[in-house]
Structure 1
Amino acid sequence: MAYAGDWCLIESDPGVFTELIKRFNVRGIQVEEVWSLDAQTLEELKHVFQAWQPVYGLIFLFKWQGNNDSSGAHPDADLSIDDSVVNNACATQAILSILLNCPSIDLGPDLQEFKEFTREFNPYDKGLAMTNSEILRSVHNSFSRSDPFIMDSSESSSSEKEDIFHFISYVPIHGALYELDGLSNGPVNLGPCTDDDWLEKVRPVIQERMARYASAEIRFNLLALIKNREDVYKMRLETDISFEEREELLHKIELENIKFKRYERENSLRKHNFIPFIYNIIRILAERGELDARIEHAKKEMTKRKKERAEKKKNAEASGSKN
């Protein structure tokens, strides 16, 4: 694929994915991390503060293990796809697999145009169109983490093979649950479902996949694309509710705003290279002859803090034993 090597690695983080979707000009969607697959957690994901909330799809991240993993689980898997696509573009591909298959989502002009353009393409050509899309690639690459230790592109390649993590999507489409994997020649139909029960249907599928790697791998991540919670809360505010519920909803809206501001700050810090700033501070202190004194001060402060923590722990243990 022509531009496959130009896709950077991005972090599997709800703040990153939420802002990435926003930069695609898609509104009303956010991404939340799913910490557990138990029934209560999945139910809470669908119902937020007495209101029903659409869960559009799930994105599952796992360590790709070649023929022994997901791609080998289905006969239509195609392992000839370039590794750089698996390694880099699959995060955005997993997001698009959900966005483009949910008619209730307002895609915005860019993704709507891409969807119309690729409507009659086969799965391989759709993937090719995605990896060659300037808009999709530029938005994806805007989340590249700064690596201060890579001086030029030739230094980024290594003879040592790094772990490759792969993203796949699960989404209900026209009454059936589908697994959408960029390594496969096409979607995999996992059976019938409804909008209300598809999360229960997908739970054993993901659990079985995790169990397959349990002896050698514990690094998994599960993210859910959901309707923007602030929008859900505001819709609830327009209904006939009690004063107490109204106050609670306003509080939850405030918490969502705080969370999104945190996302914005974290994403900004991810992209910033602090090494030159730190280097110059150290250099200036050394030139002034102040570096050794600062190091000694820092050592003393660290020793003091360790001692304080040890004393707090000792006092807490003593208080617990008395009780």
Structure 2
Amino acid sequence: MPKKWLPLEANPDVMNAFAHELGLSPSLAFHDVYGFDDDLLEFIPEPCVAVLMLFPLTPRTESVAGVDAPAPDAVSSVWFARQTVSNACGTMGVIHAALNAKDAVVPGSRLESLRAACEGSDPDARARVIENDDALEAAHVCASTEGQSAVPNADEVIDLHFVALVERDGGVWELDGRKPAPVYHGATTGSGLLRDAVPVIRKYMEAAEGSIHFNAIALAASLDA
């Protein structure tokens, strides 16, 4: 039977404690994105290296699609793993964000060990490494009991999902471990990843039809560094 974890709360404090325990560089931290107009985006420190997006799973959000990549092998530069553990999308988002950002991982950390264990593997093999990583599971379980929300029952059906938006080689990519491969959303503009991610986020917001269960968290420079 596939493993099933408790979900992570969409809370930067929870995700920062969890990600830094795994080995995210102290120069980076997760920040709430309060809105997508330029004046609100200015509150996020630069550089922004990834965005985690939480949205409700509905037929409309499931139909949001990307565009054709500029070259068939463009996806090869993106670090991507499939998700085989139920409710692990928050952890998958943290992993995808950290392992696709430059200098985001502390040497000798859990994240560096995970990357080394997955070297040369395809997304399905990487999923098996993650599923069998007892230390990662223990850290996730600890983080899932933190935060302000009541911890759901392990058997409760969760209809919210995290994905990561990252930049690799001049493109914006959506990383959703339920899908067979990264989804390309177009070339970067030079305005920074956060602003380049906004059109993707707006597509999901429109598809979510005003749902309050929508959140964006930026992985960007730490205010404490």
Distance 1:41 1:156 in 2: 36
Pick closer, same or farther for the CA change 1:196–1:135 going to 2, 3 Å.
Answer: farther
Could you state the TM-score of these two structures normalised by the residue count of structure 2?
A: 0.80
User: Secondary structure of 1:94's partner?
Assistant: helix
**1:26 is the counterpart of 2:18:** no
- Structure-2 residue corresponding to 1:133: 133
Distance 1:164 1:178 in 2: 23
- Structure-1 residue corresponding to 2:61: 69
Alpha carbons 2:174, 2:183 under 8 Å: kept: yes
TM-fit CA distance, 1:133: 1.0
Q: Which amino acid aligns with 1:197?
A: G
Query: Which of the residues 57, 71, 96 maps onto 2:50?
Result: 57
Alpha carbons 1:99, 1:107 under 8 Å: kept: no
Q: Which amino acid aligns with 2:218?
A: A
Query: Which of the residues 215, 220, 223 maps onto 1:226?
Result: 220
Deviation per residue, 1:226-265 (Å, 9 max, x gap): 122122xxxxxxxxxxxxxxxxxxxxxxxxxxxxxxxxxx
- Structure-2 residue corresponding to 1:123: 123
Considering fraction of residues, name the structure with more helix. Answer: 1
Q: Which has the larger radius of gyration?
A: 1
- Structure-1 residue corresponding to 2:174: 179
Residues 129-208 of structure 1: pairs in structure 2 closer than 5 A: 129-145=129-145, 156-157=154-155, 162-193=157-188, 196-208=191-203
Deviation per residue, 1:110-161 (Å, 9 max, x gap): 21121122121212222222122112111111123389999xxxx853xxx6
Deviation per residue, 1:261-295 (Å, 9 max, x gap): xxxxxxxxxxxxxxxxxxxxxxxxxxxxxxxxxxx
Q: Which has the higher contact order (CA 8 A, sep 6+)?
A: 2
Q: Which amino acid aligns with 1:140?
A: H
Alpha carbons 1:61, 1:220 under 8 Å: kept: yes
CA RMSD of aligned residues (A): 3.0
Could you state the TM-score of these two structures normalised by the residue count of structure 1?
A: 0.57
% identical equivalent positions: 24
Alpha carbons 1:8, 1:144 under 8 Å: kept: yes
- Structure-2 residue corresponding to 1:281: none
Pick closer, same or farther for the CA change 1:26–1:81 going to 2, 3 Å.
Answer: closer
Considering fraction of residues, name the structure with more strand. Answer: 2
Pick closer, same or farther for the CA change 1:134–1:192 going to 2, 3 Å.
Answer: same
- Structure-1 residue corresponding to 2:88: 89
Q: Which amino acid aligns with 1:187?
A: P
Distance 2:190 2:134 in 1: 34
Distance 1:149 1:170 in 2: 26
Distance 2:224 2:111 in 1: 23
